[in-house]
Amino acid sequence: MASSPDQLSQAAREALHQFKGSLLISAVSAWEIALLHKRGRLLLPVAPEVFVQRAVTRHGLNELPVTTGVAMAAVALPDIHNDPFDRILIAETLERKCRIVTKDAVIPTYPGIQVVW
């Protein structure tokens, strides 16, 4: 959404537009962006903290902290996905009873997950 909006599916673009102002960004997403940038796997035009803050402001995102409950729920999930970042996003999505915008093919295999893509 922030770095390559042209790569979003039509359904994702529509959902992001429809729910602008009530969209969430997980703290774990910011962490992953910074980590990928540090490892050279994500090129950004500015420092990761600036990039994320600009995206939050520009897209009217609401920051979602990772709670202890979500951390524990992520560990308790079935061992379908091995990525700890994605497991937290899944747990947050289930806890909040919301939809997640992702092209990740594994995330929709979790029971109760509603994916927009």
The secondary structure of residue 63, as a DSSP letter, is E
pLDDT band at 2 (very low <50, low <70, confident <90, very high): low
Is the pLDDT confidence value at 6 over 90?
Answer: no
Query: What CATH number labels 5-116?
Result: 3.40.50.1010
- Give the separation between CA 42 and CA 36, rounded to whole angstroms: 5
Alpha-carbon separation of residue 4 from 34, 43, 74, 88, 93 (angstroms): 17, 11, 28, 23, 23
Is the pLDDT confidence value at 111 over 80?
Answer: yes
Q: Is 4 left (phi over 0), alpha (psi -120 to 50) or beta?
A: beta
Q: Name the pTM for this structure.
A: 0.87
- DSSP state letters, 91-108: HHHHHHT-EEE---SSGG
Look at the block and give the residue holding tokens 């997403």.
Answer: 29
What sections of the chain are H helices per DSSP? Answer: 10-18, 27-38, 48-59, 68-76, 84-96
- Summarised one tens digit per residue, pLDDT across range 55-105 is 999 888 999 999 999 999 999 999 999 999 999 999 999 999 999 999 999
- Summarised one tens digit per residue, pLDDT across range 7-38 is 888 998 898 888 888 999 999 999 999 999 99
pLDDT band at 3 (very low <50, low <70, confident <90, very high): low
Domain ranges across the chain: 5-116
pLDDT of residue 58: 87
